[in-house]
Amino acid sequence: MWQHQDIFWGHMGYAWIFWIILAIIALNGKSFEATRRHGKYLFIKVNNETWVVFHFGMTGFVRYYKDDSKAPEHVHCEIEFKNGFKLAYDSQRKLGHVGLIKSLDHFIRHRDLGVDARSEELDEKKFADLLKERRGAVKSFLMNQNVIAGIGNIYSDEILYQSRIHPKKDVKKLSDQEITDLYEKMNEVLDTAIDVRADPDRMPSFFLIPRRKEGEQCTICGGRIKKIKVNSRGTYFCSKHQKGK
């Protein structure tokens, strides 16, 4: 893939000219050495002092391609390699961003990012300990990037739907069994999403994701899907099997 390929030049379609010059100086003639991910951020190592950071927002993705006919539609940043391939960053809704950083550890500390949702460090005990330090709606806990990094709006709804827990239930009222269920469902939902590359059409039929619409029928219990707001975010849940607010 695109790691270890020499970068020929970098072209940033929408960023400021200052950033373009900095990026070209930082990347030109270099090669990508490694990748890391933390929460919703993807990092590409250029050398010990330079990392490219991507945040994908809701619609962002990267594509590595040679033939221009394979180029994505909304390219905001494009890096060309000496082998003729390109790495394009596409973000239709422009909610993500691309940048250069010097230190990955400093970036994670500075943003106060919590433990990554997929890291081995986040075992069930750590999850329960983090939860017991908090108060407020369980959905807000799952989405708080400063506590656990990586879970967004849609996946927090899915985890709660699978755990049979109301999104507004106070974390202080969760039983030990509910905390265990929540931890297990978090891992199952994220594993499934990775397996199907987050494609809604490939999600299992018992998932909420393919039916995030008010009035849809729940495939778990036959109840109806409702929409509410939790911390001003549109939240879908089953009014029948997610009780206990």
- List of residues contacting Zn ion (CB under 5 A): 218, 220-221, 223, 238, 240-241
Beta carbon nearer to Zn ion, 5 or 162: 162
Let me know how long the chain is: 245
Nearer to Zn ion by Cβ, of 56 and 237: the residue is 237
Distance CA 41, CA 6 (A): 23
Instruction: Tell the residue number behind the tokens 């390929």, with chain if given.
Output: 5
Contacts of 34 by beta carbon, 8 Å cutoff, 6+ apart: 3, 44, 45
Contact 239, 224 (CB under 8 A): yes
Least separation in angstroms between CB 164 and Zn ion: 8
Distance of closest approach, residue 185 Cβ to Zn ion, in angstroms: 14
CB 177 within 8 Å of CB 167: no
How many degrees, rounded to 5, is the angle at CA 234 between CA 231 and CA 236?
A: 115
| Between 37 and 241, CB nearer to Zn ion | 241
Least separation in angstroms between CB 99 and Zn ion: 42
57/210 with CB nearer Zn ion: 210
Rank residues 194 and 221 by Cβ distance to Zn ion and give the closer one: 221
Greatest distance between any 2 Cα atoms in the chain:
58
Name beta bridge partners: 137: 170
Complex with Zn ion: residue 98 or 165, whichever CB lies closer: 165
Shortest Å, Cβ 168 to Zn ion: 16
Least distance from C-beta 225 to Zn ion, angstroms?
8
* AA letter at 76: H
Shortest reach from residue 112's CB to Zn ion, in Å: 36
Q: DSSP letters along 173-203, please?
A: G--HHHHHHHHHHHHHHHHHHHHTTT-GGGS
Least spacing, CB of residue 228 vs Zn ion, in Å? 15
Nearest CA among 173, 160, 9, 146 for reference residue 78: 9
In the complex with Zn ion, the residue whose CB is nearer, 109 or 243, is 243
